Structure 1
Amino acid sequence: MKRTITGLVTVFFLLFISAFSFASELDEIRAAIKEKDAKWIADETSVSVAAPELKKLRVRLEKPDKADIHGLILVSPPVSGLYESLDWRNYNGLNYVTQVRDQGNCGSCWAFATTGALESYMLIMNDTPALDENDSEQILVSCGGAGSCNGGYIDQASNFLRDTGLPDETCYPYTATNGTCGNACANWQSSADRIAYWSYVATTSPTVDAIRNALSAYGPLVTTMDVYTDFFSYKSGIYSYVWGTLEGGHAVLIVGYNDIDQYFIVKNSWGIGWGEGGFFNIAYSQINPTVQFGYWTIAYLQEAPCTYSISPTSKSFPVEGGSGTITVSVGTQCSWTAVSNASWITIPPGSGGTGNGTANYSVAANTGSSSRTGTITIAGKTFTVTQIGPSYSISPTSKSFPAAGGSGTFNVSTCAGCSWTPVPNASWITVTSGSGPGSGTVKYTVSANSAKGTRKATITVGGKVFAVTQKGR
């Protein structure tokens, strides 16, 4: 009996110490919120009252390896006419976000964030708002190979959702343990929901604009953040880090934004006893090296984005011009058009297509006085055309005349298509014949010099100078 009483006293004492410690921690968080003029409220939550080792299980994300992204960064074009706020829980009066789940005492935030994104993806794609879409996180934990209750990777989980997918929750209800894939229902792959494609919106340099644009274009986004002690006590408002040490990495689902008050709306996986019914708002300012909100943000796409490549990417031509072909490599459903930015580069009408193909072009003879550069644009890719300018030579390069004047000739050598015109710089020299294109002979006359002094002038052809000297009377 004495041992029982002693044991109960010990338990109550430990509970008292724990409660006192939490109360002290909460007071410090509230003081830090006030001191830093933060816009959120801290209070007791279903997570803040948990033992420290259980809290740690909530934040066991393994962040992707930057070396493994393989160019999977989606460049979202600016979306015109963005609203000041967007919430996929109330998008044109319809809800495309499923219920908040609870990962429990298992480091499976990575599975809940990606599964939540899959569920919203299905609601949007099938246009079935408010449907209780509920896919099996346990399949992802037990069968996906992307992680376990000790943590996991959102990129590898996304690969599994693309290649295999998830069945309904009833196939393998969540157990908050690693489980075994053999416990899943038979032939679950045949009824699995899958994404068509996924891509990073941002890796380690996220921006508010990139996330807002992707939210508007693609729907809820998987993202990551670093969690500090104060976050466990978030009750409401716009979270910003104020107090505590780093507890671990966390994966969550961004479902909206608010430009007026500068925050994102986010779905967590800690049940409805935490935050605003399981959701939280986080300030745009938390896209920073400390909290790292928005790092490794992923969008789920209903089709693979069009990626283009061209070969070769440039070509040089002689002065006479010529023709060439560009090979275009692209997905089968992606269209393209070839456009020239220079009048001397000609592309046949209707040059373009869908899927892989070729673009033909021709380059006119360069009749100018120097080399030139132009481009052909195909789906944002640039093909550069360079062409040398005409080269001219004259022979002879000079002649002397007596005061009485006379006539003369000189030869011009150049390419067949190269134009030229002889230009004298003095009125006493008259060109009587000779011009391009092609090689030819310039004929000219020199009038009598009635002055006493010697005079000099030139005839210029294609940048080459023929010198004329005439004695005085």
Structure 2
Amino acid sequence: MRTTVAAILLFALAAGGCSDSSINVTAPSETRCGVSVADAQTTFGPDGGSGQLRVTTSRDCAWSAAAGADWITLGAPTSGQGNATVQYGIAENAAPAPRQGAIEVSGEQIEISQEGAPETPEPPSQPEPPEPDPPTPEPEPPTPSPEPPPGCSYALQPASRTVGAARTSEAVAVRTDTACSWTATSRAGWIA
């Protein structure tokens, strides 16, 4: 009886040793996390300012943020897992030229634009002083009026004359100074 039992156990062990067995383990494939980034303001004036990014992803996905320009400063947090809000600041732009930069969050970029500083206007040109008025010429002295000639006196030679009824022609001498003028006129219609 003992001999029979021992033979059966040996056969079972031999059969087990001859069988070929293998175990296959399949690991879960890595799923790529999708990250989306949104910003309400992407354009800033020359004075700069601040803004915030909204990072949206699944709660098991990690993300990190980096600024692509030295005038963009990121606040905490700059990395995390799941949804988050990233604060950032924009420095003043003293140059007249505008500039562009970006913030990258796990491969997603938000473009940031900033206007240039207004150019300083040139000071207004000073008006040239008006030319001085020409000097007022001194009035010329008045021309002295000519002295009136001395009083003229006239004398007729003869002072009177009597003529007949017949037509006749007579002469009368006028005596006066050489500077005095004279004109003879008739006061009677029958004297010409």
Name the structure with the higher helix share. 1
TM-score (norm 2): 0.50
Q: Report which of the two structures shows the higher radius of gyration computed on alpha carbons.
A: 2
Higher relative contact order (CA 8 A, sep 6+): 2
